[in-house]
Structure 1
Amino acid sequence: MNDCGCDKAKRDLEEYLRNEVCRTEASDIRDHLEHCESCRSEAVLAVTLTEAVQRACQETAPADLKEHVLQRLRSVKTDHEASIVPSL
């Protein structure tokens, strides 16, 4: 076991949580998190934030909001097209 230290654990935390580090590094980071309350707390926070963002991305906008946004986009597009067409 090689304790990777706080700097390395924090630097590689996001990759570790996404399983994007090699087994050896993952093992080192996992061992470090087991023994370091500060880094473990940071890992818990990162996981909590990631899960909250994932949940938010799964929610759907209300139909009236979607329609309002689409109407606004159409309006902007029409205004833009009218401003680039030369007057005759």
Structure 2
Amino acid sequence: MTADQHGRECRDAQDDTLERLYQYLDGALTPEELDQVRAHVEDCEDCRHQQELEQFIRTAVRRSCQEKAPEQLRTTILSRITQISTTRVTWR
């Protein structure tokens, strides 16, 4: 199979391929599936690029979310959620 044919097959199965890639990045695959995805990413330039992009985004988000929100903010949000969930809407 040529690289061009392989690339077309990956694009045709994009939803499944992306889902497996996300599971790979989340560490949610069995050892056998992990080996399959690793081998695929090594051989497929498009998937390798997508994996690198997703990993970059995850790292950037993780770095951006280092600060913990103030406890008062958490208390306020939970209070408002409780108010909203206990408020009944009546129709006329």
TM-score band w.r.t. shorter chain: 0.5 to 0.7
Gaps of 5+ in 2: 1-8, 81-92
Larger RCO of the pair (alpha carbons < 8 Å, separation 6+): 1
- Percent identity over the alignment is 34
Count of residues in correspondence between the two structures: 61
- 2:29 aligned with 1:21, yes or no? yes
SS of the residue 1:41 aligns to: helix
TM-score by length of 2: 0.56
Q: Which residue of 2 aligns with 1:11?
A: 19
Which moves more between the two structures, 26-35 or 9-18?
A: 9-18
What one-letter code is carried by the residue in structure 2 that aligns with 1:21?
L
Give, in angstroms, the shift of residue 9 of structure 1.
3.3
One-letter amino acid matched to 1:27: D
Q: CA deviation at 1:60?
A: 5.8
Give the TM-score normalised by structure 1: 0.58
Tell me which residue corresponds to 1:83: none
Kindly provide the amino acid, as one letter, of the partner of residue 45 in structure 2: E
Q: Which amino acid aligns with 2:50?
A: E
Larger of the two Rg values belongs to structure? 1
Is 1:52 aligned to 2:60, yes or no?
A: yes
